[in-house]
Structure 1
């Protein structure tokens, strides 16, 4: 069991995350890779990744076993996107790296790259950062809109509990494995763990990839969090009949996975802002702007301003590229005659291509 001890001050400092947490979704998705291929939510997603693992997936899977301890430095408290997640992980102190990796390894002999990482080797840390970025693009980027929708719906339900019944109702309703027994929150847990909040409050993080029981950090000195399952309706990550890839493999090779995802997102969302694209795909605003500029310069999207907002729309060429076939050209018609009105060296001259509709 996990026992979370509250004071009166802690009850007033309970918070509910409104957005998917990229660090926890990434970590728990690595756990989900060990799920059965028949899993109702993760099955088809897991099959594609687990049957064809790349070096990034293998490296991260070694750091995040599905049972037991995973290093706390993989889920930094201040990560609000993949760029800040990578920065926070790479900024982990050498002492903490050594301590947490030693707990992960236990009595086993660590692989050489993990030993180098524990020693703070910069090349090993940069390899970890690259693996985090690559895995997010390969495994999560395509599905971030669905993950966000599930987490947002859960957050709305729990916000209603808080409004109608207060914080105690909120704490008692987040999951069947959680019981509020004033002043202690009891959570069914695989090991015995005591968490004393000591006035720090508690951040509740609904997570799409959290499956089964809630989870928390091991180190009691870190900012207290409780991550719990958000997918109450067991919404599958890949709906039946939906293709797994963002676009076909050839287009991914042509544009790159992130740029292809931006094109796909703009196509699916209609006129949309760069900031909205960045939030849905969990990339930085600068990255979304850079991808949009390239897509615009190649004629795949158009950009127009509405009031003070810049919006992007996929062009017919972009739509055709996503569908994998040439755009259908409108039938050509003969150019209408040009009628000149006015003459003289200093007179006004106007040309009208549609004389029958001209009211000049």
Structure 2
């Protein structure tokens, strides 16, 4: 259990990052490659990146039910890297620095007020980490290697394999310039192959999560915002009790809290190890799943001014209730429900139940249709849509 202690000043300074942090997405996705957790949510992504990991050396992971353990050379961490190419070598090197275990160095995810939206900015901050901090955190990483991870679930392989020797650990701990540049190259290369191709789905999930929680914040204040994190967290004033693999207290002491939505975070929110750093809470958002292809007949049913207006309103608002949409397009509530159902059947809109309300969101297909038709070029920019989702808990 993680207990986050708020003061009155902290409650006035709770922020939500507007976009996913690229470094947290890298760290969390590397962890997702080390476990079987979230098969429905991450299955399509794992299947897509499996070809990048082939050739052995990924800790004997299963590929389609078969154990994979090929030959090849070993990298600086003692892990086999031959036969699978540069992409797998990059992933293996980062895995040695980001074990799905009790400790991941904080310097890999530098805390910045408002969050980091640009990978280059994040990498530059990683490379500028003071040497004293590098030494301290690599010492902690080495010490954590013998500890079991309480957060590894029954589907996790994290505790079943030997810990890899961290990539260039001694040189990085000394602040060696070449080693740090190599680390920056690893982060950039991994993002390009394992994260960037799926960014539209990542951004869609995060944008709609932020739209929903911002709506709650605007309507009910900080308390309503913190209540949205049930069941993974419970607001018991003045403490936010968070499901966590270890027992810990974090006192904000007037620094506030930055909430960072993450696509690759799974089940439990996470935070930095060092409580003296800027307080952040990285939490999982609902995951988009592959949308069914809309048939020609379904798309034909969409032709008409009412459905077109509804689709535009859903995309423009980010999330809206049925009543709000009915009022916006001047349509009766029953007819609005019917037209929205048709949009959902065609894969152009999705919805979620929040209390007594149903919130409607656009899907990537709906946004694409609007953009291609020119309907998305109005003065009010269209937000990134919300696809069909899998709950993070």
TM-score tier after normalising by the smaller chain length: 0.5 to 0.7
Deviations 1:94-129 (A, max 9, x none): 111111111111176945721111111111111100
- Deviation, structure 1 residue 38: 7.8
Match of 1:235 in 2: 288
Determine which structure has more spread, i.e. the larger CA radius of gyration.
1
How far did 1:35 drift? 3.3
What stretches of structure 1 of length at least 5 have no aligned partner? 242-265, 274-278, 281-360
Tell me the equivalent position of 1:49: 49
Aligned 8 A contact 2:21 2:260 in 1: yes
Change beyond 3 A, Cα 1:269–1:82: farther
1:93 aligns with 2:130: yes
CA contact (8 A) 1:10 1:200 kept: yes
Alpha carbons of 1:112 and 1:185: their partners in 2 closer, same or farther (altered >3 Å)?
A: closer
Which residue in 2 is equivalent to 1:64? 98
SS in 1 for 2:253: coil
Whether the 8 Å CA contact 2:4–2:239 is kept in 1: the answer is yes
Structure 2: tracts of 5 or more residues without a match: 54-87, 146-163, 294-367, 378-382, 385-393
Deviation at 1:49, TM superposition (A): 3.0
1:238-317 map, 5 Å: none
CA contact (8 A) 2:94 2:167 kept: no
In 2, the alpha carbon distance for the partners of 1:184 and 1:104 equals 29
1:14 corresponds in structure 2 to: 14
- Counterpart in the other structure of 2:141: 104
96, 120, 140: which one pairs with 1:83? 120
Matches within 5 A, 1:1-360: 1-36=1-36, 39-50=39-50, 52-53=52-53, 54-78=88-112, 79-106=116-143, 110=165, 113-231=168-286, 234-236=287-289
**CA offset at residue 240 of structure 1?**
7.3
Pairwise CA distance, 1:177: 1.8
Provide the aligned length of Structure 1 versus Structure 2: 248
Separation in 1, partners of 2:192, 2:35: 20
For each residue in 1:43-90, what CA deviation from the matched residue of structure 2 results, as whole angstroms up to 9, or x when unmatched? Answer: 232234355332211111111111211110111123321111110110
State the Cα distance separating 1:173 from its structure 2 match.
1.4
User: For the residues of structure 2 that align with 1:70 and 1:113, how far apart are their CA atoms?
Assistant: 15
Q: Using the alignment, how far apart are the partners of 2:16 and 2:144 within structure 1? A: 38
Question: 1:166 offset after TM fit, Å?
Answer: 1.4
Counterpart contact for 1:37–1:46, Cα < 8 Å: no
8 A Cα contact 1:16 1:155, kept in partner: yes
Q: Provide the residue aligned with 1:248 in structure 2.
A: none
Deviation above 4 Å: which 4+ runs of structure 1?
107-112, 238-241, 268-273
**CA contact 1:210–1:229 (8 Å) conserved in 2:** yes
Q: Note the C-alpha offset of 1:27.
A: 0.9
Counterpart contact for 2:96–2:165, Cα < 8 Å: no
> What is the aligned partner in structure 1 of residue 296 from structure 2?
none
Contact 1:212 / 1:229 at 8 angstroms: preserved in 2?
A: yes
What is the root-mean-square deviation in Å for CA atoms of aligned residues? 2.7
In structure 2, the CA distance between the partners of 1:162 and 1:219, relative to structure 1 (3 Å rule), is same
Q: Give the CA deviation at 1:39.
A: 0.8
Kindly indicate whether the alpha-carbon contact (under 8 Å) linking 2:94 and 2:186 is maintained by their aligned counterparts in 1: yes
Q: Take 1:46 and 1:181, find their aligned partners in 2: how far apart are those partners?
A: 37
Secondary structure of the corresponding residue to residue 199 of structure 1:
coil
Aligned to 1:40, what secondary structure does the other structure show?
helix
1:113–1:138 distance in 2 versus 1, CA, 3 Å: same
Q: Secondary structure at the match of 2:18?
A: coil
Mapped to 2, the partners of 1:169 and 1:127 lie a distance apart of 44
